[in-house]
Amino acid sequence: MIDDLIDKLKRQLASIPLENWENSLSHNSDNIEIIQWLPLLQISPEFSLGLVKNGCWVKDSGVSVTIFEPGKPMVFLLPCLELKYDDFRSMIESAFLRLGLSKELAYTFPSSDLVCIGLTIDSKYWSELALNWAEAIRFDEKVKQALIQAGGSGSTQKIRQRAKKILRDQQRKAL
């Protein structure tokens, strides 16, 4: 399903006029590389999210952009967890609609990957925020494994217990 959404996103991005796209230095490469990206929403004065034409998400820091590619750590997106998931998703959907994109494409944002990094990073702060999102997102095997890990080795007893509770609640919903 996600691959179909990403393909749809790529097709729709191709129809966005060039004047909506920005050029920025890439933070990802050792070489100086200019990346063309589409700004979507500003999370804070120094943190904006957008997309590149291949459907990957980017974070703009004002100086350079960092591209999130599957399989790469996405620590740079952790500040998204500071927003309530429903509010964050609504912001993305609104940005998509403003640009003439389908709001269903908001599901292409790597929420599961972000929750997983938040749960497995050695930080009480990010783990607690990731648990909030884990209760709200579409559950998948990656999130389940991260919750199992947090339930066994989370940084506090409260985090471990809450991770186990979210797993139990999700198993009940699946029945």
Coil, strand or helix at 120:
helix
CA 146, CA 6: separation in Å to the nearest integer?
A: 24
CA 84, CA 50: separation in Å to the nearest integer?
A: 19
CA 90, CA 85: separation in Å to the nearest integer?
A: 8
Are 90 and 79 in contact by the 8 Å Cβ rule? The answer is no
Instruction: Give the model confidence (pLDDT) of 11-56 as tens digits.
Output: 999 999 999 999 998 876 667 789 999 999 999 888 999 999 999 9
Tokens of 100: 């003439």
Instruction: Give the model confidence (pLDDT) of 124-156 as tens digits.
Output: 999 999 999 999 998 889 999 999 999 999 989
Q: What is the pTM of this model?
A: 0.91
